[in-house]
Amino acid sequence: MSNPRPHVGVLALQGDVREHARVLTELGADVALVRRPSELEQVDGLVIPGGESSVIDKLSRAFGMRGPVRDAVAAGLPVYGTCAGMILLADRITDGIEGQQTFGGLDVTVRRNAFGSQADSFEVDLDVPVLGDEPVHAVFIRAPLVESAGDGVERLAQLDDGRIVAVRQGALLATAFHPEVTGEHRFHRLFLDTVRSR
C-alpha cells in the first residue's frame, strides 16, 4: 500500500527552514531537511525557503546541490519557493550580485529586494482566487518582485498596482512573501496537492 503522507524536503542550506518544516508537518507531510544530492533523491517535492538568495546560491554550489536541484526542477519535481526561493527558481534576475546564479525553471524575471531594506517591510491582504475567497495576509520582508512573466506562467496574486507577487508554472510555485511566518497554510496545501498529484 502506498504511503499517503507526501515525503517532502526543505532545502536546508540557509534561511527559515524550521518554519517551513513545521507547517508541512502540521499539514501531514513527512519532512526531510535536504543538504545533499542523496537526500534530494529521496523526496517527492522540495521547498526553497526565504533567506539570502546569494548565500543559498553559493552554499548550493559548495554542497554540490546546484546541478542536482536544477536537474530535479527540469525533470518536473514539484518545488515551492518563498522570497529568496522565488529568486532562485527564476530563469532571470535583474539585480543579482556579481556571479549570482539561480536554479531556474520559472519563466520569469525577478528583482531582488524590490521593495528596499528590512525597514521597508510591509504587510498587505491579497486576493488569491486559486486559494478561495478569503484574502491572504502577506508579509513582505526585503521581498523580490516578478517584473515580467512568460505566457506559460500563471499569475496567482498581484499588488493593487499590478505588480506580481505569486506565480505558478507546471509543478513550480513561488511567492514573494512568507506564508510560513503568518500561519497562512493554503500555499503549502496547494504545493502538497501538486506533490500528491505527481
The length of the chain, given as a count of residues: 198
Q: Cα-Cα-Cα-Cα dihedral of 97, 101, 103, 105, to 10°?
A: 80
Q: Does residue 134 have an active-site annotation? A: no
- 185 part of the active site: no
- DSSP helix/strand/coil, 140: strand
Bridging pattern class, strands 154-158 and 164-169:
antiparallel
Q: Please provide residue 128's backbone torsions phi and psi, each rounded to the nearest 5 degrees.
A: -130, 85
Residue where the block lists cell 546560491? 57
> Which amino acid belongs to residue 89?
L
* Catalytic site residue from 39, 123, 134, 180: 180
Which of the following is catalytic: 52, 137, 178, 188?
A: 178
83 is catalytic: yes
| Contact call for residues 60 and 13 (beta carbons, < 8 A) | yes
Cite the active site residues.
83, 178, 180
